[in-house]
Structure 1
């Protein structure tokens, strides 16, 4: 069998509603590498939001911030940041439209005022299936490398990606036409909700671009890459990977891209599927 390079999203893929990776899924990563294949995290999370409990499992590298940063071994081999002038425009746009936002950097996540109030007023049960928002809530409760916007210096701190929460959906929609010129917009919330949350990712710097970069770095044909994901910020990764596997809970749009489906991560879905592919 050719050497494979396998890319794993985190939330909804390696980690389920329990917010923990199962022992079997951990074992799967170890066995995959022992068998001579490469394993990469490929996540929308910034490095500051990737817990040591995940990185300590042992991966060959990380595609972080939805393609904004790529780390192989201990070194960053690719970095892409939002232009400071564009960033200031987006921050002003969101502020004027009362859209809450956070700025993702290498070392910390800077949150605009109002995010705490949003979480204090919304019923936690409402976003139990919105894993991205659940993680944000969990990180906030732990104060996991979170800082306030007043600590942010736009001149000295590069930003890879922005996340947003708009308690009033219509106010976010008023920003869309400007955002679409520069960013891919990924929505995580259910359309039925009164709020909207998601992230904006610079065009031409997606998880898919990260997969291309890493396969070229190793000289591995992209046909020998495998992508595991569950949400729309995985779309480009799944589109370019030689073989794509999505969660049974994924949207129909993602399932149309997929070569196969994996089970709920809390039910050892990654372990079972890698075994099915005979990679472990």
Structure 2
């Protein structure tokens, strides 16, 4: 029976320094050769899916935390913030003095002082993920980021911003009840970032859209992840796999805990599940 395999990227398919293990590439290619379909399911927008990932050989992607679904080169679903929602969010973030970037399929568009103002948060985020490179820059994190683009846009999947404190998220949630409000880079008060997304959009909803398009059954889904944000995806799919480097809540939600991403964890799980 062919499966629909859904892979988180960072910490699952690639390690926390962005390296793609050869074993993971081989596992994905072998699984597809065996008739299974493989999709990435990520918070990244399409602009952050670089050629090295597509070159693995993928059937498509779910991006923007569920706002975008693509299969076989065809756009299945795409929901974006309205121009008015984007403008109001950008103005609020400017007034609050928070640095941010707009995540669109056409590119990532940074606020005016993002390159310096976001550096501390991204270095902390990298350190929490096991990459403590002391001189890593924002341009290392985002090699194709646009630093002088228009910030009032109608093609935005979501907006991520650096939290000054957890109060910023709480106030954002109150100010924007018409948007999906979330945090990442930690739980609760330890979160480093907040985000604004399209209301009602989740990875689970996007998987539903994909399955309907494919005429496939939820019972045939297998999800792989490593972070708290992946827990709903693991809960939704018929079978969930946590990476050995994953957080404890992901491991608790999983049906299987495999090895670390750097120890060929993805390939070992594919072998154990008979996908290759």
Alpha-carbon separation, structure 2, partners of 1:191 and 1:167: 13
Shift of 1:189: 3.5
Q: What is aligned with 1:238?
A: 234
Matched, 1:50 2:49: yes
The more displaced of 123-132 and 217-226 is 123-132
Alpha-carbon separation, structure 2, partners of 1:220 and 1:133: 42
Matched, 1:15 2:14: yes
**1:63-142 mapped onto 2 (5 Å cutoff):** 63-120=62-119, 124=123, 127-130=126-129, 140-141=139-140
Structure 1 length normalisation: TM-score? 0.87
Of the candidates 167, 172, 176, which is equivalent to residue 173 of structure 2? 176
Alpha-carbon separation, structure 1, partners of 2:174 and 2:141: 35
SS in 1 for 2:20: coil
Shift of 1:10: 0.2
SS in 1 for 2:15: coil
Structure 2 length normalisation: TM-score? 0.88
Alpha-carbon separation, structure 1, partners of 2:247 and 2:263: 19
Paired residues, number? 274
Q: What is aligned with 1:152?
A: 150
Q: What is aligned with 1:224?
A: 220
Q: Deviations over 1:93-148 (max 9, x none)?
A: 211112211101111100112221135556946732248999xx666237633113
How has the CA–CA distance of structure 1 residues 80 and 11 changed in structure 2, closer, same or farther, with 3 Å as cutoff? same
Any stretches of 5+ residues in structure 1 without a counterpart? none
Could you tell me whether the CA contact under 8 Å between 2:24 and 2:264 is conserved in 1? yes
Any stretches of 5+ residues in structure 2 without a counterpart? none
Could you tell me whether the CA contact under 8 Å between 1:98 and 1:166 is conserved in 2? no
